[in-house]
């Protein structure tokens, strides 16, 4: 797993006016750089690719449960809250998000709180202070990780903090206060939980109706697109839960298609965003 301190982030303006972040991921072998979203529009891409399974799942299930990989700028999480708002289902959904970079989680939570409760830049450390609950449910969040997050916040570079903070302000500007409030309330009520990196041994905290798979590319995180891993990860949630189950992602590669078909899904190739060849949506009904 890549440690968060090996990332640095650069703010990127995309064509629809929404920001994305580009990471510089350094490890001993290489320096890789990957932007979180398509330059044609971070907000628009999320809406197109991840919005499409939300409404059918809200319609089919009293309490739809979603999994988002990874949190990033939180566009997907805000979209889930937006859909709940539009449908008058504010308190009905459950959501688990995975994010390997603790600094993004910290800043997302503190910025959303700031945008809701005035501009007093209170550094709430919500994620860290909620670690009792998180640790109980997610053994992967170790004390070492929490300590690292705390130490690194103290030493974080001010330019980085500004880039990230301005990016979140821009993300939140796309959503009304009611939507942010819905998401924040879900977090406080533990209907939205945020866990660290998703790995080969991750066990989902609840059975999932909707998979919102927004991992970095196969080049950057090959382990999250491995066919055998995908098969076993997706299938852990299948046999004890009411159908339908949906899966959506911006990518449309061989391993994900084969893994979903092996799990019994009907795989539907969809138009890709902004000139990308294809994306993928799949249903188990
Ligand atoms: C394409 S971006 C996600 C964008 C995000 N959905 C949004 O709405 O802005 C991929 C994210 O996955 C995170 N990530 C990378 N490896 C991960 C892992 N193993 N588990 C969880 N998150 C991971 C990255 O730090 C990055 O934030």
Query: Could you state, in order of their start, the residue ranges of all structural domains in the chain?
Result: 38-284
Section 64-90 average pLDDT: 97
Question: Please, are residues 6 and 24 in contact by the beta-carbon 8 Å criterion?
Answer: no
Q: Taking the model in full, what pTM does it have?
A: 0.87
Name the CATH superfamily housing domain 38-284: Vaccinia Virus protein VP39 (3.40.50.150)
Name the residue with the closest Cα to ligand 1, atom 9. 73
Q: What is the CA radius of gyration of the chain?
A: 18
Rounded to the nearest angstrom, the distance between the alpha carbon of 215 and the centre of ligand 1 is 5
Nearest CA owner, ligand 1 atom 15: 100
Q: What is the pLDDT of residue 25?
A: 62
Tens of pLDDT, residues 183-239: 999 999 999 999 999 999 999 999 999 999 999 999 989 999 999 999 999 999 888
Confidence of residue 127 (pLDDT cuts 50, 70, 90): low
- pLDDT bin (cut points 50, 70, 90) of residue 267 is very high
List the one residue out of 185, 193, 192, 168 whose CA is nearest residue 115: 168
Nearest CA to ligand 1 atom 2: 36
Is residue 46 scored above 80 in pLDDT? yes
């Amino acid at each position: 797993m890549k440690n968060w301190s090996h990332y640095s982030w650069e703010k990127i303006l995309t064509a629809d006016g929404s920001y994305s972040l580009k990471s510089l991921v350094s490890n001993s072998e290489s320096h890789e750089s990957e932007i979180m979203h398509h330059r044609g529009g971070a907000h628009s891409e999320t809406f197109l690719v991840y919005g499409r399974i939300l409404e059918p799942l809200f319609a089919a299930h009293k309490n739809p449960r979603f999994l988002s990989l990874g949190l990033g700028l939180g566009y997907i999480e805000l979209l889930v809250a937006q859909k709940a708002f539009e449908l008058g289902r504010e308190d009905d959904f459950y959501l688990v998000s995975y994010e390997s970079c603790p600094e993004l989680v910290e800043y997302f939570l503190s910025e959303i709180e700031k945008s809701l409760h005035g501009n007093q830049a209170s550094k709430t450390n919500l994620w860290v202070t909620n670690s009792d609950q998180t640790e109980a449910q997610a053994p992967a969040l170790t004390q070492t990780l929490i300590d690292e997050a705390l130490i690194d916040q103290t030493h974080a570079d001010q330019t980085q903090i500004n880039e990230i903070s301005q990016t979140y302000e821009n993300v939140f500007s796309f959503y009304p206060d009611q939507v942010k409030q819905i998401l924040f309330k879900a977090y406080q009520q533990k209907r939205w939980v945020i866990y660290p990196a998703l790995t080969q041994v991750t066990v989902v905290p609840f059975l999932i109706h909707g998979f919102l798979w927004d991992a970095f590319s196969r080049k950057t995180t090959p382990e999250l697109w491995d066919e055998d891993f995908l098969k076993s990860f997706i299938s852990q949630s299948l046999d004890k839960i009411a159908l339908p189950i949906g899966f959506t992602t911006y990518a449309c590669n061989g391993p994900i298609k084969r893994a979903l078909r092996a799990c019994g899904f009907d795989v539907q190739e969809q138009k890709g965003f902004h000139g990308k060849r294809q994306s993928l949506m799949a249903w188990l009904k």
